[in-house]
Structure formats: C-alpha cells, structure tokens
Structure 1
Amino acid sequence: MAGFTTRPEIRGTFGMVTSTHWIASAVGMAILEKGGNAFDAAVATGFVLQVVEPHLNGPAGDLPVLFHSARDGKPGVLCAQGVAPAAATIEAMKAQGIEGLIPGSGLLATVVPGAFDGWLLLLRDHGSMELSEVLEPAIGYLSDGHPMLASVAGAIAGLERFFTAQWPSSHAVWCPDGTAPEPLSLFRNPDLAATYRRLVEAAEGDTREARIDAARAAWRDGFVADAIADYLGDAKVMDVTGERHGALLNRADLAGWEASYEAPASVEYHGWTICKTGPWGQGPVLLQALQILKNFDLSAMDPLGEEFAHTVIEAIKLAWADREAYYGDPDHYDIPLETLLSDRYGRERAALISQDASQEQRPGRIPGHEALADAAIARAARRMDVMEDPATGEPTMAHLTDTRGDTVHLDIVDRWGNMVSATPSGGWLQSSPVVPGLGFPLNSRAQMFWLDAGLPSSLTPGARPRTTLTPSIAYGPNGEVLSFGTPGGDQQDQWQLVWFLRFVHHGFDLQQGIDAPLFHSQHFQASFYPREAKPGTMMIEATIGPVVVEALKARGHDVVVAEANSVGRLTAALRHEDGLMQAAATPRLMQAYAIGR
C-alpha cells in the first residue's frame, strides 16, 4: 500500500542502524563500518543513548534485548532487568511508612542496576570487539561534550531548585555551571567519563571474554559497587511522598546478580512468528492481542478507519487486563502463560468484543487463578480518577515538574544477518540522585511492584519487577527477520501492535506504518506511579481525521485527540532472505534516525 512518508525508507545490503537519537545511530553505523557486528554496534549505540538521553536511560537502569543470531539461526532474550534487593519486603516498606504505592522517585524504589552488566554480557558472548572500542564513542561525548536535547535541558531546568535543595549530587552533575544548561548547548559529564575509563582499565585478562568479565566484576564487586554502597549506607533523600527515605539495596545485592539469557515467548500470526520477553516484561500482551485479533478479518478493514481502531482497542483492553492480573517474574510465581497465549483462550477472549466500547476491566478467569483476576479488578477500581491530569509516561515526578520521562530504543542488522532489538530504560536523571563520584543515578524500578501480598507482581526479594520494556523480533513467511520497538511505557506494545498489524495486513512499509496515525488505550491499570486507570479512554492522533474520531465516540469510546505527530517513537529494521535490508525511524520529536547502506 503506497503512501506519502516523512522520510525515505532506508534500504541497502551492508547494515542498518535505527535508534531514538541521531548521534547514537551514527555511532552504531560507524561500528559496523569498522567491521563490528550488530551486537558490537548495539552496545556502542546503547552506551551513547545513555549519554545523549540521560532522562530516558542510564547505566544503572534496565535492559531487555531480543536478538537473532546468524551463528545459531534462532532468537534469544537477554534479561538485564535487575531484581528486588534481599531486604525489599512488603513489611520493610510498611516499616518505612509506605502503605500504598512504592514511590516512583528517590532511593526506596531502587533495584539492582542491570543495564551495564547486560550490555557487557551481550558484547562478551555475541560481539567481536573490545570493551574499549565500543565505549570509546560514549567516553568521547562525555568528555568533549554533546549538544543537549531541549527535552533534557527542560527536565533539568524543571528540577534545578529541587536538585539544589534535596539532591546536591545531581545538581553538581546536571548543572555544572551552577544553573541548568541551555538547550543544544555543549554538555559534558566528566564523572561518568572517568567511571567508564576506570572500567576500561579494569578490563584485563588473556582473552577478550576474560577482559570483559573483569570489567563486569569491577562494576558488580569492585569500585563501582563500593561507591554505590558507601553512598547508600546513610543516604536518605526526598522522594515523591514528600518524605526522606533510604535504599534497601546493599553491596551484597550488587555482587550477587548477573544478567542472563532465556528463550523468548512466541506465537504464530498469519505466517509470522513473533518473539517477545517473558511475563517479567509486558511483551506477552502483544502476543495475547494477536491471538485475539486472529479471529477477525482485519485485512478487510480500513487500516485508518474506525472499525479497525475499535477492534484493536478492545483487544488491547482484554490483553492488558490479563497483564495486570497474571504477569510477574516466572522464577517466583506461577504464571499461566501457556494458557494466556493459547489459540483457545484467544478465541474465548475475542468473543467478548462487541460493536460497543467496553467500560469494564475484564481479566480472564483462568482455573486455579480466579483470585488474581478479582484482585486486579479491585486494584483498578481503587486507582480510577486518582489525578485530574495524570501522567501517562514514565517515570512520574509530577509533583516537581511536568517533564515526563520515558525510554529509548534501537534496532540493528548487519551484513551477516545478526539482528538486535533493545529497549533500555531506567536510571533516569529526574527520578534518582546521582551517586557521588560516578556521574550517574540509580533506578526506581521497584515502583512496578504492588504492596499487596499474594500477587504475581507483589514485592518479593530477588524477583524481577514486571516492567513495560518490550523489544520485538519476528520471523516472516519468506525468510524475513524483523526487529522493531518503541519507548512509551504502557503504550509500547500498543503502538507496536498497531504498526505490525498494518504491516502484515495492509502492506504498509516500515516508514509508512511509523508515520501513520497511531492510537492507544488508557483504559487499564497504569504501570507507573500513581497507577491510575481511566475506563473507556483512548488516545488517537488528530491526523486520523474527525470522521473516525466521531465514529469512535459513537461506539462509546472516551476519545482524547492528541496533536498530530505526537504519539509513538517507533523504529524498525527488516532483513529479507536475499540479504536486502530496510530501516525506518519515527519523525516524532525530530530526533530518531535510521542510517544504512
């Protein structure tokens, strides 16, 4: 299906890099040009994204990766989602006066940092370059400076007074001249540059793999762990509760955790095999939505029409209701994922979709798990209308600034056929104070846990918080391999779903689908503080047109019309069996870029 696009669709045979910042994409492409593979390029790109988008991700954040290895010919998942500290119990939170939600800022919500170890594990096992080579671009931008995005400058400006009064270590890093930096001014972070140089110096050993593991040890059980533990030993800082709290994380937690690999969850859909993380991320909701939607003739629907939007939104409501009832760390909880992803369950859920918009939270009632469905409905009811103007992004610090944090994404394919889809997040500058001397903040991911006992997402020592981070790899009927994803919290899999459906059913190219009007639901329980639910509400870009908006309202949807080109930050890369490649990036926010040849 041909159509106008804001940018050309990048095509070639050598390699493709697409990410949410043009500098990071250029760095990834430079690594491919130097002979590195997609994994080397992903690691270099990921570290630069931490530098240029520090309000969206950092080295102490989280990292899920979906990848296709040309060597093995199959997909894999790298899980660099840090776990809850050993002391992080529901009782410990209540002892600190936290009875409802875990605060989305400060130190109390800190879990084990995951991103740094995850990137290095990926480099060790699948890359070909030295740590010094892939870290060189990030160190250069930290030392010599990079043009600060207006969004980063705005986030810092909104928190400048708070940093001065409450988080002085953050003020020292983000306001180095005593005041917030100007948009597009040259910004440096010498403390983080020094941290990375020390990690490179620590990378000693007889083999490349041993050298990388030595750097991992310096982070997990060396000078980085020392600095974090020393700071957390007596630090108590202001958070969203308006009170000062310390961290439950300690040095033993840091030393006892490593990133790991696992097999992806997957379903078949119209000749495609779509692979996602397990239920410790929200990835399976996209798979559930596809299992529901395969019972409808989407190909016969106008991809920009109200019937398509209504049907997809209703499927999203059902899948995300199950997310809230049943998802969590399968290493700690009994997650009925096989049932949730089955064809039979998808048909049963599809039968619930009518011509009218549902206003109810309707998780499925899976035998033996009915209490979880009841608990999810009750939680959503408690969180309805908790704010007049609730934030829909991540992380939430709305009491201090109207800046919304988020996430980053990258998709990379090389000439050998390796592909990487990664959605780094966490470690946001506006959600946690900088660790003195290291140049980066910790994370606040424990806010994803509930303080109600007996749930798959209850706070549990050693468990992974159920995140919204969800990269994608898909295999096509003609030998294609597709990598795609987006930042956006609860919206990530919604925007990916809409894009993928138009790609499969209506022949949209990568860029055309990215440029097309996007929509999402706000009906279900949100994942971030203050965890609101807005029954029946959906958001759609104004470019869909007033006729579609009015038709959706007539079906009972509470439609919020977003400004044109303001929803979604998708990127995607595709490799055909014959070696031809394509890549695309969103024009929204005017910073994502696809590069290739």
Structure 2
Amino acid sequence: MFTTRPELAGTFGMVASTHWLASSAGMAILERGGNAFDAAAAAAFTLHVCEPHMNGPGGEVPAIFVTAGNPTPTVLCGQGVAPGGATAERFRELGLDVIPGTGLLAATVPGAVGAWLTLLRDHGTMPLRDILDFAIGYAEHGHPVAPAVVDTIAAVTQLFQQYWPSSARLWLPVPAAGDLFRNPALAATYRRLVDEAEAAGGDRERQLDAAIRTWYEGFVAEAVDEFCRTEIMDDSGRAHAGLLTGADLAAWQPSYEPTISLDVFGWQVHKVGAWSQGPVLLQQLAMLEALGDPAEPVSAAEVHRVVEVAKLAFADRDANFGDGADLSPLFDPAYIARRAALVGDDAGPSLRNGLGRLPKYVLEGRTAPMGFGTGEPTLGGSSGPALDTDGPPAFHRGGSYGSGRSGGFLPALRQDDGFLGARHRPGEPTVNWWGTTRGDTCHIDVADRWGNVISATPSGGWLQSSPTIESLGFCLGTRAQMFWLEDGLPNTIAPGKRPRTTLSPSFATRDGIHLSFGTPGGDQQDQWQLVFFLNHAVHGMNLQAAIDSPSWHTAAFASSFYPRETSTQLLIESRVGGAIDELRKLGHDVAVMDGWSLGRMSAISRDLETGLLRAGANARGQQGYAVGR
C-alpha cells in the first residue's frame, strides 16, 4: 500500500516522536554515544519546549522499557499522586460533583521531570548538562513555533488576558506559525537545575540525585507551593486555590513496576497497570481473539468488531480501573468469552456493564449534544458552531453541560449554537467530537544499537489548562480531573493516590522482536493503538503502513476529561470508503472525518538476533517524525 514515508531501517539507532525537533535531539544524543534512555530524556525535555500545549515539566509520564541486560519489559511510573488535602469530601464542600479540568484544583504532583531524572540516574550514561542542552537552547534562543501551538494560544487569549495574567505575559501577543518563540524563564529553570546538580560534585549519579532534590524539595517545589496558594479561575466558574503543597512534592518519588501482559495473536503485549487505561488494550485484544478468525483489514466487519469490543472494554475500564485495583477477573477466559459473546451482528448499546460498578455520573448519561454525524467530513465545514468573539469566556457549572472532551474554557457561544463548540475548546484538547486531532499528549520511542528500547507517553502541564508559574516558565498539570468524586469506586480520589490516567505506552514481544509503540489522544490512545497493532501484528503490514492505514474510534463511553460526558458516535476516516455505508446499515452512528485526522502513532521495532531496527511515525498533524540509521 501507499505510505507517506518509508519505514526506516538500520542498525545504529532509531528515534520516533511527535515533533521533529525532539526526534532530532534524541538522535543527536545517540550520535554522541548516549544510549536510548539518554536520547529519550533529551527528546522529552525538548518536547516540553516545542509542544507546550501537549506536555510540560508540570506534567507526567509513564514508560515501558527494556535494557540490554534485561529483556523483561518494565514500567517507569512518572504519574504524580493526588495532594494530601485532596478528598472527595473537600471537593463536595466546594460544591463540585466533578473536578474542574482547568486551574489549580486538579493539580497532582508533577512527575515527569522526576521520572526522567531517575531513569537517567539508573540507566543513562551522559551528564545532565548534555541531556538538557537542546531544551535550554530552544527555550533560550527560540524554536519555530508549530501551528497547533499558535492555534491553542489564540483560542485562550481572552482567558489569559482576563483571568491568567502570568500566562498572558509569556504567551501573548499570539505568535505567528514559524516564528521563533522563546521561554527564558524555563531556560533559566533548567540552567539552575544543572548548576545545582553539578554543585554536588563530579559523580554523575550524585548529580542526578541532587537534581531530583532540587526539583522536589528546592526552588521548584517552593515556587509551586507559593503559587498554589493563589486563587485562580477554573472551569467551575469560580476561583479556587490549589491543594498541592511543597510537602506533597517532597513525599513523592517515581517507581519501577512490572507490566501487565497478555499473550494474544502470537505476541506478548505489555501495558502499564490499573492506574492507567493501558490494560483496556489487552482486554480488547483478548475479546477479538475470542471472536475467532480476524476480519479483513479496514473492512466493515473489522471496524464493527473493533468498535463493539471497545465499548465493552471501556465500560469495564470505568467500573474497575484505579490505582491499586485488581484487574485479574477481567482477564479470566470465561469472562472474556462472555463479553465477546455480546458482540452481535448489529451495533450494540454504549454502556453494557460487566464486573464492578459504573459511576452514577456515567449512568446519568451526561451527553454532549451533537447536531450532526451522518454527513461527509466536517473538518473545516459548516457543521460546527459559530464562535462569538465578543465577551468573556463562558464557564459551565456542575459538569452537566459544557466542555465535552476538552476539559477547558470555552469562548462565549451564542445560545442557538446547540453544541458548545468543541472545535474551539482549548483545555485538554484530545480530539474534537468530530475527530479533528488537536493533540494533548506526546509520544517517544527510542532504540539503540546495544538493545535498550523505550516507549514513553509524556503529557500534562498544558499551557492552556493551568496558569503559568512565571518564575519557572511552566504550568502545573490537571490530571486529577480524571478521578471520580463518588465514594467507593476504584478511581475515587484520595490523598497519595494516582488518577486513572489515559496515558498508555505499549510494548510487545514475539520471536526475538521487541516492538515499542504509542500515540497521543486521551481516551482514543488504546483504540488507535489497537488498529495499528492489528495492522502490523495480525495483517502483516510494516510499521509505516500500519500507521498510515485508515483509522477510527468510538466515543460511546464516559470521557476521562472534564466534564466527563458521553456520546454515541463512531468516528472514522473518510479513506475507509465503502465500508462506511455498511456500518450505518449495522446501526452505527457514523461521523466521517477528514481522511488523515485520527491518531499520531509512532513505533520502533528491534530484532534481537540481527540487531536490525525499524521505525515509523505519523504524517497526521504534520509534526511527527522518525529518524535513524
């Protein structure tokens, strides 16, 4: 099949990520003699600068990796926990039944920097100064700002001007796409981090320990603590101070954990644990294997099967997943068979609970009105709402109506719009209701010539979701919006608990092959990854062809993002063609998307016997890039 670029092949090293500058920075580290972990960290810190609408130092990162000496995949957890004062009762006292998707209330401990520093200390080889050189340079001297960043800043201009002045001073006036954009405060933060690390002496590991202390107990923690005592306007329509404190940062540290894995379709697939949505990919694969012979790729039969098992698996996600939850009953062969048997010839309902208890909030069916869904691609068309640029941002109280999958402020919309403008929403811009990818997260895959491979999905700390801490040059994350406030659920908020995040790196092994892959996309991550994996592992496409092949996903479950709404739609790229009419005949509520709009996959594989490396990256979004030799 036609591919937008070749599948890369070589033996020295491969880096694939969601931004070309990050991939280039990672490859430069490999060329200087660094290993995959050095390269991944350099790419990640570069992404903090170049994709600030998708991740930042205030965010988080999960990763799965193997080392040259240990081929067993291991999880690196860089997901921070809820603050000590974050209880469901506290939020109810504030009159909230859902955690706002913006502002300071939703901040968890920022885990990304600690995770990368820990990985560098334990498995890297290069000094911190060399790793941060690229990020510091792009922040201090400027980098060509991507169009998506410009669009995001433009969407929140009024918010910054009226409510978040520290963000206005950094990001306004809105730059033009391609202009050099500088963030001197962030450059100074990273320079000070390096200086304080090197003050600990010449030993590399001692320096990295000092850097970790500096971030979580030193000047960064102090600035975070002070800023969180400020009352900031958020999605609730009211100003709130944050709950996060310096003591919360000092008490946290990243961890290494075993993966959750499943043997399926001849592969062993590895995911992060129940504090992520990652195991939902395993459950979908298990049900598909239970259904028997795979359908033809990109056929109505395949799309139907994939969508139906996704509905079932994501219902189980919302009822059962959470930090510390036991997911083993979901993978009992008898349970998998019962769930798979629910897949019929026609489209099934959105919510069919299996084990566990779905949140009342989900069962109430807080559904965003759609107003379309049966026509041709709506990207750039007239199906969406008009934007009224007069007046302040509109706030939507109580989570009963509002910001759909974005979790962000909405510019004020005319009352007759009906649907409240996902096209213009800035918050956690996972994907519009009609599927236009706007980012929310990043992904990095790296493999080196020695056998080290890593899959990482950095996210959080988005410029549009929390105000900038001016002295540091970055903002905090809002991942706590994914907790439930209903008592007694696996994902009910509690101090020191990790939210059930959407971040979901993947790793798979088969016959001496290591496969690292992932994508941004919030709730869609483990649907787009499923399509990719079927294309590559079951249908035999190479990495680039599997990425370029048409994609789809369903929105027929509760969004993980404020205000946690549901939908009924199957969103599908127009390149699927004739299968679309067949799917409608089966009862699917199909929304046809632009032909190149769903997913931002990247992937790398390594043959352990020959050392041959392969890589691919997504043309969608016009930012992803793979490089190697």
Normalised by the length of structure 2, the TM-score is 0.89
Deviations 1:2-44 (A, max 9, x none): x111111111010100000001000000000000000000000
> Aligned-pair distance for 1:379?
2.8
Is the Cα–Cα contact under 8 Å of residues 63 and 79 in structure 1 kept in the other structure?
A: yes
Is the Cα–Cα contact under 8 Å of residues 240 and 399 in structure 1 kept in the other structure?
A: no
* Distance verdict in 2 for CA 1:503–1:298, change over 3 Å: farther
| Structure 2 residue 331 is the aligned partner of structure 1 residue 359 | no
Partner of 2:276: 281
| Structure 2 residue 256 is the aligned partner of structure 1 residue 261 | yes
**Counterparts of 1:306 and 1:344 in 2: how far apart (Å)?**
27
One-letter amino acid of the structure 2 residue matched with residue 292 of structure 1: M
Partner of 1:512: 545
Partner of 2:410: 398
**Counterparts of 1:142 and 1:37 in 2: how far apart (Å)?**
24
Deviations 1:231-270 (A, max 9, x none): 223x001111211111011111111101111000000012
Q: Percent identity?
A: 50
Query: Please, which of 89, 92, 101 is the counterpart of residue 90 of structure 2?
Result: 92
One-letter amino acid of the structure 2 residue matched with residue 381 of structure 1: L
One-letter amino acid of the structure 2 residue matched with residue 580 of structure 1: L
Partner of 2:525: 492
Query: Please, which of 154, 157, 182 is the counterpart of residue 157 of structure 1?
Result: 154
One-letter amino acid of the structure 2 residue matched with residue 273 of structure 1: Q
| Structure 2 residue 171 is the aligned partner of structure 1 residue 171 | no
* Distance verdict in 2 for CA 1:140–1:433, change over 3 Å: same
One-letter amino acid of the structure 1 residue matched with residue 563 of structure 2: P
Moved more, 465-474 or 378-387: 378-387
Is the Cα–Cα contact under 8 Å of residues 405 and 565 in structure 2 kept in the other structure?
A: no
One-letter amino acid of the structure 1 residue matched with residue 292 of structure 2: D
> Aligned-pair distance for 1:387?
4.4
Partner of 2:191: 197
Deviations 1:124-170 (A, max 9, x none): 11111111110010000001100001110111122122212211111
Deviations 1:74-95 (A, max 9, x none): 1100001000001001111122
Deviations 1:398-428 (A, max 9, x none): 3574342510001010001110100000000
Partner of 1:21: 19
> Aligned-pair distance for 1:435?
1.0
Residue aligned with 1:294, SS: helix
Query: Please, which of 584, 588, 592 is the counterpart of residue 616 of structure 2?
Result: 584
**Counterparts of 2:103 and 2:119 in 1: how far apart (Å)?**
29
Moved more, 403-412 or 431-440: 403-412
Query: Please, which of 131, 141, 145 is the counterpart of residue 142 of structure 2?
Result: 145
Residue aligned with 2:70, SS: coil
Residue aligned with 1:475, SS: strand
**Counterparts of 2:362 and 2:334 in 1: how far apart (Å)?**
26
| Structure 2 residue 252 is the aligned partner of structure 1 residue 240 | no
Residue aligned with 1:152, SS: helix
**Counterparts of 1:498 and 1:150 in 2: how far apart (Å)?**
27
- Which blocks of at least 5 consecutive residues in structure 1 are unaligned? 366-371
One-letter amino acid of the structure 1 residue matched with residue 213 of structure 2: A
Is the Cα–Cα contact under 8 Å of residues 393 and 406 in structure 1 kept in the other structure?
A: no
**Counterparts of 1:81 and 1:438 in 2: how far apart (Å)?**
20
Partner of 1:369: none
One-letter amino acid of the structure 2 residue matched with residue 576 of structure 1: D
Partner of 1:380: 362
One-letter amino acid of the structure 2 residue matched with residue 316 of structure 1: A
> Aligned-pair distance for 1:469?
0.1
* Distance verdict in 2 for CA 1:72–1:439, change over 3 Å: same
In the alignment of these two chains, the number of paired residues is: 574
- Which blocks of at least 5 consecutive residues in structure 2 are unaligned? 372-401, 413-423, 430-438
| Structure 2 residue 591 is the aligned partner of structure 1 residue 593 | no
Q: CA RMSD for the aligned pairs?
A: 1.4
Normalised by the length of structure 1, the TM-score is 0.94
Is the Cα–Cα contact under 8 Å of residues 225 and 245 in structure 2 kept in the other structure?
A: yes
**Counterparts of 1:436 and 1:338 in 2: how far apart (Å)?**
45
Residue aligned with 2:604, SS: strand
One-letter amino acid of the structure 2 residue matched with residue 402 of structure 1: R
**Counterparts of 2:320 and 2:526 in 1: how far apart (Å)?**
17
Is the Cα–Cα contact under 8 Å of residues 405 and 563 in structure 2 kept in the other structure?
A: no
* Distance verdict in 2 for CA 1:393–1:49, change over 3 Å: farther
Residue aligned with 1:73, SS: strand
> Aligned-pair distance for 1:395?
4.5
Partner of 1:474: 508
**Counterparts of 2:53 and 2:310 in 1: how far apart (Å)?**
28
One-letter amino acid of the structure 1 residue matched with residue 500 of structure 2: R
Query: Please, which of 308, 321, 327 is the counterpart of residue 327 of structure 1?
Result: 321
Residue aligned with 2:49, SS: helix
**Counterparts of 2:203 and 2:338 in 1: how far apart (Å)?**
54
> Aligned-pair distance for 1:114?
0.7
| Structure 2 residue 447 is the aligned partner of structure 1 residue 451 | no
**Counterparts of 1:391 and 1:562 in 2: how far apart (Å)?**
20
Equivalences for 1:44-63 in 2 at 5 Å? 44-63=42-61
Moved more, 402-411 or 391-400: 391-400
One-letter amino acid of the structure 1 residue matched with residue 538 of structure 2: H
> Aligned-pair distance for 1:97?
2.3
Moved more, 313-322 or 385-394: 385-394
Partner of 2:383: none
Is the Cα–Cα contact under 8 Å of residues 394 and 488 in structure 1 kept in the other structure?
A: no
Partner of 1:226: 222
Deviations 1:362-404 (A, max 9, x none): 1213xxxxxx42x34x432323324447766554333574342
**Counterparts of 2:489 and 2:291 in 1: how far apart (Å)?**
33
Moved more, 223-232 or 129-138: 223-232
Residue aligned with 1:275, SS: strand
**Counterparts of 1:360 and 1:155 in 2: how far apart (Å)?**
31
